[in-house]
Structures are given as C-alpha cells and as structure tokens.
Structure 1
Amino acid sequence: MDADFLKEVEQFVNLKTSVQVKKQNALERANNKLIFAYQGGLFKADSSLIIFVKLHDSKRDLILLDQNSTPILITDITAFVDQAESCYYEAMNEYYQLYEELKHQRTVKKVMDNE
C-alpha cells in the first residue's frame, strides 16, 4: 500500500476519534450542568420535569423525587420552574455551541488545537 494513503487513513481515523470523544465529553458536561439543587434535593432539569411541574395542579402539594429518590416538597413552583429552565437553557446553549464548533472542524490539527 502507498505510504501517503496509509497516512491519510490514519489522520482520518484520528480525526473521527478525536471529534467523537469531544462530542461525548460535551454531552457529559451538558448532562452534569442539568443537575441543580432545590430545597435540599438534587434535580435534573430535563424537559419532562419542566413540563410536569408547569402542568401540575396548583391546588395540590407538589412532591418530587430527586436524583437520590428523596421526596422533596416543592413549596414555590414558580421559583422551581425558573431555576430548572435557567439551568436547562444554559446547559443546552453551551452544548449546542460546542457541538456546532466540532461540526466545522475538519482537520486533526483544528480538533487538537481546540482542547
């Protein structure tokens, strides 16, 4: 086989591996940023939690299980939703920006320089 061809294949594999690892790290970072504390509990600010709390009947107490399966009484639903949405949008905006940057990196050098 041609040495130049093998070098190009190696660079391509390195690029794909580097980009994939960076995408995975960005996703893990975003998932970590979705966790927030409220009234002694840890919650993950995902879309299903936000929608559930927004649709909750205000005439009833809202008790949610946190990430550790601890029941937490949510006394101020508006403050909870505000904090969850803020956390969600911040994490998703950062993840989106990192993901878009990675989509445009077509060389190993660009990927490695962006560490």
Structure 2
Amino acid sequence: MTKKFKCEVIRTDKFSVELDEKFFNEEWFENFNRHFYDYEDLEELSKYIAQVITRRGIETFIDGIGVVMQNGEIPMYVVKEKVNTSVNIVFELGDQVGDQECDVYTSEEVSQ
C-alpha cells in the first residue's frame, strides 16, 4: 500500500542585494527594459535579482545581469570576466540560499 502526503514548504532566505548606482544608470535601465523586463528603479531590480537567486540558487546566471558577486568575492566556479561586479549578494556568516529557515507542513491524503 502506498501512502501519499501533501506537503507545503515555506522557506525564508535572508540576504542583501548591493547594486552599484553608477553602473545601473538610466541608460542601463533603458537597455534592460528593451530586452528583458520593465523595471524602473534599483528596488524593483533588487527584487528581481532576489527572486531569481531564491528560485535557482546563488550560482546561477541572471538574465540581463550575469553572475553576481557573493559576499564581495568572485565565485570560484566562474571566470572573472563573466561576473557582474556591480551586483553583490551579502549573506550573514554561514548562511546560503536554501540553507536557512524552512518549515514543512504535511497532511496525509486519503485514497478514495
């Protein structure tokens, strides 16, 4: 007999997104909006970056951004020229995306 469980996972990741205002200027936003998404300011851009990192992990290429710095360092797995040094994701000591708080709620599904 097989038992089936419905699971709801609620995850909380906490980190900061640092953006270089000189790099992310009006011209940059015009180009980004033309090719990717329609964001108007750094706050909207930081939400986009945070969503991508939370969904796909810190070691991902972000459309229109590239690979980002991690705690001020270039990730070991990437060639330096591929990193966008104008974006830095800052974690608390020891934390990583997916390594933080996670609550799981389950309920057994009854077979009919």
TM-score (norm 1): 0.26
Greater share of helix residues, 1 or 2? 1
TM-score (norm 2): 0.27
Which of structures 1 and 2 has the bigger CA Rg? 1
* Higher RCO (C-alpha 8 Å, min separation 6): 2
- Structure with the larger strand share: 2
